[in-house]
Amino acid sequence: MHKLRLSNLAAYLILILMSVFVLFPFVWTFLTSIKTEVQMFAIPPVVVPDPATLQHYQAIIDEGKFQSFMGNSLTVALVSTVLSLAVGIPASYGFAKYRYRFSGMLFAGVIATRMFPPIVLGVPFFLMMRQLGLINTELALIITYLPLQLTLIIWILEGFFRQLPHEIEEAAEIDGLGTLGKFLKIAVPLSLPAVGVASIFSFLAAWNEFMFALTLTRTQETQTMPVGIAGYVTTFQTFWGKMSATGILYIIPVILFTIIAQKGMIKGLTAGATKE
């Protein structure tokens, strides 16, 4: 009994240490965001500022940059996710249930692109967008994010559709449903939770993407949040207060979402691990 309690103690110690490691950066960023410049650079550091200030939040909103970056991020992430889902869901269903010659190979090819370092696409994308005159447009980012999201969606949903019992489909066939009918009336409604998971992950992929956004956009009118927030670090000065405030507002929705949709998120992340 005594030994058991000791090992429980060790277990909680590990969990608490890990939690501190994970949470500390968030907490410190939040505390920084409500400090004045003087409190921020005090030695030894001020932990909880007294009085706290909202000046950095006020500043980023007054500047209008925040709204602009946020708006661009939302537009790009939403539009690209919707487009990816529109072509990705039927494709996953097709790959899972309607095998044809080469379909296995094509599926493997789609999934394999997940392994490419994105920088491989960075150069040709830049040249392609320049040719099309799309540099510094949101459309360029939307197009760029499609393949990133499609591979994710197909990876998650193909496995799900494959597990749909054959009997349901046969019953639908007897009821006289064609491929389209089966897809729209049976497969999609049954897979809504999985579609939700896939949408979250493709949304996040676009929401958090930095490198392509850095190479393809130049001005506040088109830049998304990751590039915008990185802009607070300049060669001469880093605006820690504004950066922290922007960072906090940028990640709050994601954190809330993570907590609410916890189960689905974990299911999506571990989709591959339990598949085999």
Partner 1 sequence: MSVSAKKRNGKHDRSRRTAGILLTLPALLVMAATVLYPILSSFKLSIYESQGMMSTGAFVGLDNYWKVLQSSQFQSSLRNTFGFVSVTIIVELIIGFAVALVLNRSLPGTKFFRIIFTLPLMIAPVVSGLQWRWLFADQYGVVNALLELVGIDGPLWLGTVWGARTAVLIANVWLATPFVILILLAAMSSLSEDLYEAARLDGANAFQTFRTITLPLLKPAILMILVVRLSDAFRVFDIVYILTQSGPGGSTEVLSTYIYKNTFTGLQFGQGSAASFLVMLLIMIVSFVLFRLLRPREDRA
User: For residues 112-171, which are near partner 1 according to CB under 8 A?
Assistant: 113-128, 130, 143-144, 146-147, 150, 154, 170
Q: How far apart are CA 260 and CA 249, in angstroms?
A: 18
In the complex with partner 1, which residue's Cβ is closer, 61 or 111?
A: 111
- Yes or no: say if 137 and 222 are a contact pair by the CB < 8 Å rule: yes
Q: What is the rounded distance in angstroms from the CA atom of residue 33 to the CA atom of residue 59?
A: 11
Site string for partner 1, 16-45 (x = CB under 8 A): --xx-xxxxxx-xx--x-------xx-xxx
Which CB sits closer to partner 1, 105 or 192? Answer: 105
Q: Which is nearer to partner 1, 127 or 168 (CB)?
A: 127
What backbone phi and psi angles, to 5 degrees, belong to 176?
Answer: 90, 20
Give the total of residues touching partner 1 (CB under 8 A).
Answer: 98
CB of 65 vs partner 1, minimal distance in Å? 15
Among positions 203-262, residues that touch partner 1 (CB under 8 A) are 204, 207-208, 210-211, 214-215, 225-226, 229-230, 232-233, 238, 240, 243-244, 247, 250-251, 254-255, 257-259, 262
For 128, other C-beta atoms within 10 Å of its C-beta total 14
The residues in 39-98 that bind partner 1, with binding defined as CB under 8 A, are 40-41, 43-45, 86-88, 90-91, 93-95, 97-98
Which amino acid is present at 165?
P
**CB 164 to partner 1: min, Å:** 14
d(CA 48, CA 28): 9
Tell me how far, at minimum, the Cβ of 56 lies from partner 1, in Å: 13
What angle is formed at CA 247 by the lines to CA 268 and CA 195, rounded to 5 degrees? 20
Nearest distance in Å: CB 34, partner 1: 14
Q: Using CB under 8 A, which of the segments 56-64, 74-82, 102-110, 133-141 binds partner 1? A: 102-110
d(CA 116, CA 148): 10
State the Cα–Cα distance between residues 271 and 264, nearest whole angstrom: 10
The single-letter code of the amino acid at 259 is: I
Q: Smallest gap, in angstroms, from Cβ of residue 39 to partner 1?
A: 11
- CB-nearer residue toward partner 1: 57 or 125: 125
Question: Does residue 108 touch partner 1 according to CB under 8 A?
Answer: no
Stretch that binds partner 1, among 48-56, 61-69, 109-117, 188-196 (CB under 8 A): 109-117
d(CA 170, CA 49): 66
**Min dist. Cβ of residue 44 to partner 1 (A):** 6
**Rounded CA gap, 116 and 159, in Å?**
21
Q: Is 238 helix (H, G, I), strand (E, B) or coil?
A: strand
Distance CA 169, CA 79 (A): 32
